[in-house]
Every structure is written in structure tokens, then in C-alpha cells.
Amino acid sequence: MRSREPITSTRVRLHGVGTRALEVGGDGPAVLLLHGFSDSADSWRPVLAELSAMGRRAVAVDLPGAGHADPLNRRSALATLDGFTEEFVRAYAGDSPAVLAGNSLSGLLTMRAARSADLPLLAAAPIAPAGLAYHRRLDLFERGVRGLSPLLWLAGSLPVPGRLVRLYAEWVYASRLLEGRADRRLARYYASHYRRMGDLSRIGGDLLVLAAASRLDPLAPAEIRVPTLLIWGSRDRLADVAGAELVLDAVPASRLVLLDDCGHLPQVERPIEVARLLADLPASAERSAPSPLNTLGLP
């Protein structure tokens, strides 16, 4: 096992969007990492550290509208994210095809990118991906945001001190998503990207636009062209693991790994297991598994 290299942060431009990339050096196919909705590349720091210790090159990037990236163009939100993802892969794949992984919203973006015949992808790893099946909790949340949207826009103009906004964002991330099962410092990274109430209302608007766009242009799993490893937490309360069957039935070289006692953010809660799975792709996606649902539970 090699010693871990420091994570470097670089300002880059992809698909016309100014953003930030976090990178560790190493050998083998690059492992390219996309974060979930409203999160940032910082959520991949634990996995980046593990991949660095394995001697694998890996890069995580802030999506448009998140972290240190430029705002998302809502008029072409999903097309912008698709184009951004494809340019990210082409820019960082290097001399050989790369492994692309994404959590939640970016799990959907990963599968959408895996449909491309000319993208240099070795394998895809959607982690608790959006776009397949949802728990009622998430449907209710979206309806709530839509119903309260006029108030959210008004709240965005309130002069709430930035420190209180960050404390609220940190509490939401730590209590509602991490649920005490991961390093609290990651909640502080998450909160650091929110400086004013307008940031919270902007995220609400992005959510509504992306939800509508994904319904108008749904994923067709049969179009996925590369080995695919689905990674899911058994305690995920947002994305329903039942949706994995749509991919397992449609993609011959696909497999599901179900992580016991894990929620919606496996890369944060179980970074060692996730890093090992990503480093093992595409072989792990091509293996057959013993259960009817093609699943494997890890401790």
C-alpha cells in the first residue's frame, strides 16, 4: 500500500463552466467522481484519500451550480450537466478509458454518459442513483419545495447572517443525510459553500428544474454501453434500491452491491468499501452474483 498523496485543488473550465477539480495522482485507469445534488467535490475526499493510498489516479469535480462552480443554466439544465459530464471524462481520462462514478443526481448523469459510444469509458458506477425509483419521502420533499417556492424566493432576500445559514446547512447535512454515520467534518465542508439565504433558494430552484427535465428526458437503461456496478445503501431513504432491477435486467454486464447499514451517501459513510469497488472495476461489474437480484451485501 502506497502512502497517500495530498489532494490538490485546481480551478478548471469544462463545457464553458468555471469549476474546481480535486485530484490525487496514481496509476491505472482514472477514477472520475461526480457528487450528488447540492453537494460538492468535497464529499469525495474520503474516497480520494483511499484511492491515493491504493496508487490510483482519481479526480472529483464540482458540478455547475454547486461547490465552487459557476451557476447552473436552468434553461438547459440537464443538457448542461450532460455536456459537462462528457467533457469532464474527455479531459481527465488520459491515455486510456476511465471509470466514472456518481452519487444520486450524478448517478443518473453517470448512466446517461454511459450511453455514449464515443466517450472513453471503461465502466460506470452509479451510487444510489436518481432517475430509477424514489421513496415517498423524496416525492413529498419535492412537492413541498414546489408548493413553497414563492416563499423560498422571498426568503432568499432576507438578510440572515451567513454564519446562521452555514450552521443550518451543516445541521441538515449531518442529521438528515449523514445521520451520525460519517465524519462530521464533511458536513462542515458542505456548509462552507452556503453564504447567504439566496444560496438556499437557488438550490430549491435548481431542484425543481432538474426534476422536471429528467421526467421529460428519462433514462433508458438498455442504452448503457459499458459494464455497470450499482452501489446502494440498505438504509437509503431517498432512492429506492428496487429501481436497480431496471438496470440489472437491461445491462448484461451489470451488478448491484448493497452495503449493509448504509444510507444515501455510501462514498461518505463507507469510503473504504466504495474505493475498493471502484478500483476493481470493470471486473466486479462483469462477475455474476449468487442471488436473484444480483446483489452482494458488504459488512
Neighbours of 91 (CB within 10 A): 16
Report yes or no on whether pTM surpasses 0.85.
Answer: yes
- Cα–Cα–Cα angle for 152, 18, 56, rounded to 5 degrees: 110
Cell readout for 162 is 451567513
Q: What is the reported pLDDT for 156?
A: 61
Cβ burial, residue 29 (10 Å; 0-12/13-18/19+): buried
Highest mean pLDDT among 86-95, 136-145, 155-164: 86-95
List pLDDT tens digits, range 180-229. 777 888 999 999 999 888 888 888 888 888 988 998 999 999 999 999 99
User: 186 φ, ψ to 5°?
Assistant: -65, -30
CATH superfamily of 8-135+220-298: Alpha/Beta hydrolase fold, catalytic domain (3.40.50.1820)
Q: Over the chain, what is the mean pLDDT?
A: 88
Neighbours of 166 (CB within 10 A): 19
Kindly indicate the confidence band of residue 1, based on its pLDDT and cuts at 50, 70 and 90.
very low
List pLDDT tens digits, range 18-51. 999 999 999 999 999 999 999 999 999 999 999 9
List pLDDT tens digits, range 155-188. 666 777 888 889 988 998 988 788 777 788 899 9
